[in-house]
Amino acid sequence: MWIEKLADGVLQVDTPIGARYVQPSFLERGYLLWIFRNFQSLPQQVLNPRQQQLIDRLCQEQAFVSITVGGLDKPVIGRIENRSSVHSQVLPARRPISSTASALPEREREAASA
């Protein structure tokens, strides 16, 4: 089975829009087989920085492939879980309201000033 994965395996990456499959090079497939030697799926957080860079680079190339070719399924080397939580966008902080008095209705402003 690992020979088939080395020859033509794909990496499954979970994204916010569903599972995607990436076709790594022969050497990358060998390295991924080593990473997934004891597990079928791993969260990206447990990978070391070099391994995370490989996954990021493979996903940035956006060379997603179909898992089925000619009616036959390609073997899946492994699955990267929770990729979206690792690379979620950080929203900018909201600006505070400069004046709370301007946000109050007119009657409440009069009562607050009295």
Q: What is the pLDDT confidence band of residue 89, given thresholds at 50, 70 and 90?
A: very low
Taking the C-alpha atoms of residue 24 and residue 11, their distance in angstroms, rounded to an integer, is 7
Q: Select from 67, 68, 82, 64 the least CA-distant residue to 24.
A: 64
| pLDDT higher than 60, residue 86 | no
The pLDDT of 45-67, averaged and rounded, is 87
* pTM exceeding 0.85: no
pLDDT value for 96: 62
∠ Cα 36 40 42 (to 5°): 75
Structure-token pair, residue 69: 């070719």
| pLDDT higher than 50, residue 51 | yes
CA–CA distances in Å: residue 75 to residues 1, 8, 40, 87:
8, 7, 12, 27
Taking the C-alpha atoms of residue 107 and residue 48, their distance in angstroms, rounded to an integer, is 60
DSSP 104: S
Structure-token pair, residue 108: 């409440």
Q: Select the more confidently predicted residue: 16 or 67.
A: 16
DSSP 26: H
Please give the mean pLDDT across all residues of the chain: 79
Dihedral angle of Cα 28, 34, 40, 43, to the nearest 10 degrees:
-80
